[in-house]
Amino acid sequence: MARNRAQKRDPASRGSRRDAEKTRLARAGRARRTARLAPRRKPTQTRSRETVSAVLAAAAELFATAGPARTTTNRIAARAGVSVGSLYQYFPNKEAILAALGERHAAQVEAALGPSLARLADPAIPLRRSLHDLLVGLCAVHDAEPLLARAVSAPAPG
């Protein structure tokens, strides 16, 4: 008990407790933000995978043309030809849809640029050639899905 009174009087211990509490709250906030962006469930059947693909394609189109701020989950569901309830089975909000599009785009970029990045490390291949190949690969990814590339490069809502 005497120890607790001493700690209460000691400003340094009070500050460290405050810092620990701030850190705990910051971690909890990050966890909530991460949970808000995570898909609710993974599609397992063919029809559910098609639903998610339709939602993501519609969202990419709307985010690219109208922007994230003017795109709503109702508009995404209507464009995808699904009910908004079906959309919410897989995504909690439009930010989660945008995050899923970003992940899809990042995976495509990584797959396309992997070989080019390996060539950059090879001293036998001229740097100019390696950079050219890297840029060609990046352009190919963006040319294959221009709406997705524009959707993920648009300013985020908020």
pLDDT of residue 2: 54
pLDDT of residue 78: 96
The number of C-alpha atoms within 13 Å of 10 and in the hemisphere containing its C-beta is 10
Q: Supply the pTM of this predicted model.
A: 0.67
pLDDT of residue 29: 55
Cα dihedral 77→82→109→153 (10° resolution) = -10
Averaged in consecutive runs of 10 residues, what is the pLDDT profile of the chain (158 residues)?
Answer: 54 62 59 59 86 95 91 96 94 92 91 85 88 89 86 69
pLDDT of residue 6: 53
pLDDT of residue 153: 79
Q: What count of other Cβ atoms lies within 10 Å of the Cβ of residue 106? A: 11
What is the rounded distance in angstroms from the CA atom of residue 87 to the CA atom of residue 54? 10
What is the rounded distance in angstroms from the CA atom of residue 79 to the CA atom of residue 83? 10
pLDDT of residue 81: 96
pLDDT of residue 80: 96
CA distances from 89 to 42, 53, 144 (A): 9, 13, 29
pLDDT of residue 51: 94
In the block, residue with structure tokens 């294959």: 144
The number of C-alpha atoms within 13 Å of 109 and in the hemisphere containing its C-beta is 14
Domains of the chain (ranges; CATH) run 38-153 (1.10.357.10)
pLDDT of residue 141: 87
